[in-house]
Amino acid sequence: MFTGIVEELGSVKALRRDAGAARLTISASAVLEGTVLGDSISVNGVCLTVVDLNKSEFSADVAVETLKVTNLGDFKIGMQVNLERALQLSARIGGHLVSGHVDAVGRIRERRVEGNGWRIFIDAPEAVLRYVIKKGSIAIDGISLTVADVDKTGFSIAMIPHTAKLTTLGYKSAGDSVNLESDIIGKYVERLLSGRVEGNVSLELLKQNGFA
Query: Which residues are known catalytic residues?
Result: 2, 40, 47, 49, 63, 101, 146
Cα 137 off chain centre by: 11
Q: Nearest CA to 167 among 16, 21, 43, 12? A: 43
Cα torsion angle, 73, 5, 2, 152, sign: negative
CA distance 169 to 111: 10
Phi, psi of 47 (to 5 degrees): -75, 115
CA distance 121 to 98: 21
Report whether 104 contacts 70 (CB < 8 A): no
Within 54-103, strands assigned E span 57-62, 80-85
Residue 151, CA distances (Å) to 147, 164, 177, 183, 184 in order: 11, 24, 19, 18, 21
